[in-house]
A and B are shown apart, each in its own frame.
Chain A
């Protein structure tokens, strides 16, 4: 069974009497262990699709299932629970909690999962070490570079062992060297731990690293290729 199934999903944004379709009917399946990029020009709907798959946004019609469970019609509390235990997010703008240190940001998800204090601190420090941020655990986001912040975001996304990581333009705000290093790290996680990655991107470097490339255009899938 696919880990994610997207069935006839549409998304129409409306305001001031003007309707803007972002997705016009998407059918998609993502299998476990995939390292897949959803690419397309700005406005193609890739971020919208990722947000709907991550239960951060609701489709206008259609549904999404995660491991067979319909996540589209869950309550807000159920969706929060789903994200907490199954999904990891890496955002373009890093989206770390500014008042928390690096280790506290990484611990946050485990805190919500009610992991005991000592255990979550140990895991968080280990993951930070793994992503190359050993020694930076007590730095706040405003004391770190973009690349370091994104590494903390990656650490936060993977520390609880999610089934699927959704990364929205993860390299957009990074220089090419840093972006490349980040991709290599995520590739390694995919290879070593079988973590499923789904990217939205228009970075060719990300597209080149992916094993499956889905091209979106004007809210529809234009092509879907395994490499």
Chain B
């Protein structure tokens, strides 16, 4: 196997590069989607939400605010809060009241969703409190405080300390107007988010729209949510009254869930394409190896090597070289992913696109251990199937013709 280093190197190289590329691309896709999901969940979505069953909680596409209404608040919110407070699966929760309206300064106006929050509780569920780039987070006893996104601040040309006016309809569908002071500006990885969501104290918003004590939403973080989300949802739902609904994040924005699935599909397609290319490379290299050694194989057959033994020799050689390639490729792939999982890849030039996707301009790769298993298994199978035809050609060589081959 090692007596022709050039030939062996081609097979090993093809395998190593293919596997390296596969691990990198899958980890990249996974990392990007994890960031997207993380930003969404920790930005505003949470793992689970609770609403009035009639409340239009499910987003249309990526548009969260299409149908926000004050009409359907959570019935008996104290009971609901008592249930979730006592459930050990609920890591943190926060109440919210959301209204759609217009935010204006002296010159400009924009449509936004104003979310009334309990600042302390909200800080435990989302990272909005850690995303402040100017000023400070909401202060609990300051009903005039408003927190706006940087994108919105830039568009409205307002800054910390600026005064803005928010207009909406109250519960009686009458005009409700209130002035706020910009206490802080936040920035997330999504311009859509930054442009559309503004925050104030829950009590201030409840007063403004005449809904004292009422909330439209509870957002929750769940412990070990990846494994337990469905079970926790079923458990909580069973304890709620029939007019209260507990839904998972993928039900709030199914578009994200579908996008994640689509990325999985594209990653798989990339995976398959890499391996098809690799298979051709390996088959070509193994076939070259067989043709280069026709005379040698003819001599072996003349001396008494059976066709099946020639077949197995070619296949085993291909598999053995591939094992080396797999080790090299896995080492390179893991090393590269480890580096970029720590330092990330900066896509500042493409930040607009990534911001639309709420990923952020620096993508940190993330590998699942199963990728290594998939990669190694697929590589071995690729090596096996790629070597079958060359091996059959070798096995069928007529000794007398092979020996004469120049």
| Chain A residues at the B interface, C-beta cutoff of 8 Å | 51, 54, 56-57, 76-77, 80-81, 83-85, 89, 91, 95-99, 108-109, 112-113, 156
Contacts and interface: CB of A to CB of B under 8 A. Distances in A.
Given A57-B400, A91-B403, A80 B296 contact: no
A95 B3 contact: no
Contact of A112 (B295, B304, B398, B400): B304
B96 interface: no
A80 B306 contact: yes
Nearest to B402: A56
Interface in B279-315: 295-296, 299-309
Nearest to B307: A76
Given A56-B399, A91-B403, A80 B307 contact: yes
B147 to A, nearest CB: 74
Contacts of B296: 97-99
B290 to A, nearest CB: 14
Contact of B304 (A51, A84, A97): A84
Contact of A89 (B3, B295, B302, B308): B302
Kindly list the 4 A-B residue pairs having the minimum CB-CB distance in the complex, ordered from nearest. Answer: A84-B304, A99-B3, A57-B400, A80-B306
Contact of B306 (A54, A77, A99): A77
A70 to B, nearest CB: 19
23 contacts: A54-B302, A56-B399, A56-B400, A57-B398, A57-B400, A77-B308, A80-B301, A83-B302, A84-B303, A84-B305, A89-B303, A91-B403, A95-B299, A95-B302, A98-B296, A99-B3, A99-B4, A108-B300, A109-B303, A109-B304, A112-B304, A112-B309, A113-B304
Q: In terms of DSSP, what is the predominant structure of the interface of chain B?
A: helix
A99 to B, nearest CB: 4
Contacts of B295: 95
A70 B304 CA distance: 17
B79 to A, nearest CB: 81
A27 B400 CA distance: 22
Contact of A80 (B299, B305, B400, B403): B305
A85 B307 contact: no
A85 B304 contact: yes
Nearest to A57: B400
Contacts of B300: 97, 108
B172 to A, nearest CB: 92
A80 to B, nearest CB: 4
Contacts of A51: 400
Given A56-B399, A91-B403, A80 B4 contact: no
B403 A95 contact: yes
Contacts of A85: 304
Given A77-B307, A80-B306, A97 B299 contact: yes
A29 B274 CA distance: 61
A136 to B, nearest CB: 18
B400 A83 contact: no
Given A57-B398, A81-B304, A99-B296, 20 more contacts: A51-B400, A56-B399, A56-B400, A76-B306, A77-B306, A77-B308, A80-B301, A80-B304, A80-B306, A80-B309, A83-B302, A91-B403, A95-B295, A95-B302, A97-B296, A97-B300, A99-B4, A108-B300, A109-B303, A112-B304
Interface string B253-296: 00000000000000000000000000000000000000000011
A112 B303 contact: yes
A81 B302 contact: no
Contacts of B400: 51, 56-57
A83 B303 contact: yes
A202 to B, nearest CB: 18
A143 to B, nearest CB: 14
A123 to B, nearest CB: 16
A96 B300 CA distance: 9
B306 A108 contact: no
A97 B3 CA distance: 12
Interface in B304-332: 304-309
B194 to A, nearest CB: 66
B305 A112 contact: yes
A108 B309 CA distance: 13
A109 B403 CA distance: 17
A131 B305 CA distance: 25
A54 B298 CA distance: 13
Interface in B186-210: none
A43 to B, nearest CB: 15
Output the residue of A80, A85, A113 with the most chain B CB within 10 A: A80
A109 B302 CA distance: 10
B342 to A, nearest CB: 45
A23 B305 CA distance: 27
Contacts of B309: 80, 112
A56 B302 CA distance: 7
Contacts of A56: 302, 398-400, 403
Nearest to A47: B400
Contacts of B301: 80
B397 to A, nearest CB: 10
B391 to A, nearest CB: 15
